[in-house]
Amino acid sequence: MDVAATCPDAIVEAVGRGEPVSVGGGLADVPLGVLVSAPRFADVPALRGARIAFTEARGSVSLFLRAALRAHGLRPGDYEAVVRGTTPLQAEALRSGDVDAAMLTPPFDARLAALGFRRLARVGTVLGRCAFTTLNVRRGWTSTAEWSRFGAALAEAGELLRAPGFRTHAIAALAAATGFAPAELDDAYDALVGGAAFAHGVELDPSTLGSLLRLMREDGLVVRSEDPATYLDTSARRQMP
C-alpha cells in the first residue's frame, strides 16, 4: 500500500522500532465515538465494576476509550474490559446484555438510544483534539506527485461532503449501503463529516499528534520520543505550521 488511514499508535510504535514508515497527514483530529451504556447507569463513574466492550486489548481506538474512562476516574481494574471487535459487534453485545457499555461510532449510538440505552459521553468532547485517524505512508512518499494529487482529491471530496446540496444524496447512499433509515443518519452525518478534517485535505496539526503521544504514554504504550516531528514524514509538502 502507498497510504493507509488508521489510528496512528501503531505507526508511532513502528517508527520507534526504526521501521521506514511515517505519519503523512491527518484525517480525523477528534475521536468520533460515543460512550453508550445500559439504562441503569446514570453517568460514566457509575460504570465502576461494569463490563465494557473494547475493539482490541491494546492500542487502536481502545486507547481513546480508556483515556475517556480515566478522565472520569476509572482506571483498568475498576471495570471488566471485554474485547468484542468492531462497532457493529459491540452494539449487538450491548443490545443483548453481554456487556454494559461500549464506545460506538454514529449512527449505532442513535439506534441504541432509541431503545432506551444512555449516551453517557462523547469521547471527543472529553478528550479534545488529538490525532484519531492519520494518513500513514512509507517514509518519503509525501514528496511524490501522487501524494499531492491524493491530498487535492481528498480536499475536494471533503468540500463535496459539506456542500448543502449533497447532504440528501449522501444520506440516501449511506442508507442504501448500511441498512439504516435516512432519519437515523442525520446526526451521524453531521458527527462524521463535521468531526473529520476532510475539508483540509491531508493537513495535520502536529499538536494533535502530541496529544496522542500523551494518551499513549498514559495507556502504557511505548513512546520513544516526545517530539511529534519524530513521527511525521519530513518531506511532506502540506503540513500546518
Q: Which residues contact 236 (CB under 8 A, 6 or more apart)?
A: 24, 25, 142, 143, 147, 202
Burial of 224 (0-12, 13-18, 19+ CB in 10 A): middle
Whole-prediction pTM value? 0.89
pLDDT score recorded for residue 2: 86
Domains plus CATH for the chain?
A: 3-30+129-219 (no CATH), 34-127 (3.40.190.10)
The string of pLDDT tens digits covering residues 133-154 is 999 999 999 999 999 999 899 8
49: which DSSP letter?
T
Q: How many CB atoms lie within 10 A of CB 200?
A: 19
The string of pLDDT tens digits covering residues 28-52 is 888 989 999 999 999 999 999 999 9
pLDDT score recorded for residue 199: 52
pLDDT score recorded for residue 240: 43
pLDDT score recorded for residue 239: 47
CA angle 107, 112, 129 (to 5 degrees): 50
1: which DSSP letter?
-
All three cell numbers of 63: 486507547
Q: How many CB atoms lie within 10 A of CB 169?
A: 11
Q: Are 99 and 36 a contacting pair, CB within 8 Å?
A: no
Q: What's at 124, amino acid-wise?
A: G
Q: Are 161 and 193 a contacting pair, CB within 8 Å?
A: yes
Q: What are phi and psi of 119, to 5 degrees?
A: -85, 110
pLDDT score recorded for residue 68: 97
Averaged in consecutive runs of 10 residues, what is the pLDDT profile of the chain (241 residues)?
91 93 91 95 98 91 96 96 95 97 93 95 93 92 91 87 85 89 85 65 88 94 91 66 39
pLDDT score recorded for residue 196: 60
Residues, the chain: 241
